[in-house]
Structure 1
Amino acid sequence: MQAKKISAHIWNLKTWMIIPIHVWVVVDKEGITLVDAGMPMMTKGIMNFMEQLNAGPIQRILLTHGHSDHVGAVKGILKKYEVPVYAHQIEIPYMEGQVVYPNRKKLENNIPKTVTTPLLEDDLKNLKKIGELTPYFTPGHSPGHVVYYHEQDQVLLAGDLFTSKKGKLKQPMSAFTADMRQAVASASIIGQLKPKQLEVCHGNTVFQPSDQLEEYIKTKERKLGGH
Structure 2
Amino acid sequence: MKKMPMTSVASGMGIEVLPDLYHYTVQIVNIAFIGNPSVSNEFILVDAGMPDSHEMIIKAAQERFGDDCVCKAIILTHGHFDHVGALEGLLKKWDVPVYAHSMEKPYLSGESNYPPPNTEEAGLVAKMSTTFPRHSIDISANLHLLPEDGSIPVLPDWRYVHTPGHTPGHISLFRKNDKALIAGDAFINVEQEKLYDVLTQKQEIHGPPQYFTMDWQASWNSVKTLTELQPSVAVVGHGLPLADDELITNLERLSRDFGETEIPENKK
User: How high is the TM-score relative to the length of structure 1?
Assistant: 0.85
Report the residue type matching 1:43 in the other structure.
H
Larger CA deviation: 168-177 vs 60-69: 168-177
Q: Look up the match of 2:127.
A: none
Q: Tell me if structure 2 keeps the 8 A contact 1:169–1:212.
A: yes
Alignment partners' CA distance in 1, 2:85 and 2:57: 11
Q: Give secondary structure in 1 for the equivalent of 2:205.
A: strand
Task: Give 2:208's match in structure 1, choosing from 172, 189, 192.
Answer: 172
Instruction: Give the corresponding residue for 2:146.
Output: 119
Q: Deviations over 1:118-162 (max 9, x none)?
A: 0112xxxx3113414211100000010000113344321111111
Identify the structure with the greater strand proportion: 1
1:76 match: secondary structure: helix
Change (3 A) 1:103 1:188: same
Give the 3 Å change call, closer, same or farther, for CA 190–112 of structure 1 in structure 2. closer
Structure 1 residue 107, shift from structure 2 partner: 6.8
**Stretch moving more, 102-111 or 40-49:** 102-111
SS in 1 for 2:166: coil
Question: For the aligned residues, what is the CA RMSD?
Answer: 2.5
Per-residue Cα deviation, 1:88-116 (whole angstroms, up to 9, x for no partner): 01101123331232446997133433331
Q: 2:43 aligns with which of 32, 35, 38?
A: 32
Give, in whole Å, the separation in 1 of the partners of 2:135 and 2:109. Answer: 7
Within the candidate set 145, 159, 162, 2:184 is matched to 159
Structure 1: state its 5+ residue gaps: none
Which among 72, 83, 88 is matched to residue 85 of structure 2? Answer: 72
SS at 2:60 equivalent: helix
Q: 1:3 corresponds to which letter in structure 2?
A: G
Is the 1:96–1:108 Cα contact (8 Å) retained in structure 2? no
Structure 2 distance, partners of 1:110, 1:25, is: 23
Gaps of 5+ in 2: 1-11, 118-129, 191-201
Q: Does 1:183 align with 2:196?
A: no
Specify whether residues 35 and 103 from structure 1 end up closer, same or farther in structure 2 by C-alpha distance, changes over 3 A only.
Answer: same
Give yes or no for contact 1:65–1:142 (8 Å, CA) kept in 2.
yes
Match of 1:195 in 2: 231
TM-score by length of 2: 0.73
Say if 1:90 and 1:143, in contact at 8 Å, map to a contact too: yes
Aligned identity (percent) is 29
Aligned length: 220
Q: Which residue type is aligned with residue 32 of structure 1?
A: F
Does 2:114 match 1:91?
A: no
Displaced runs of 4 or more, over 6 A:
none
Paired residue secondary structure (2:35): strand
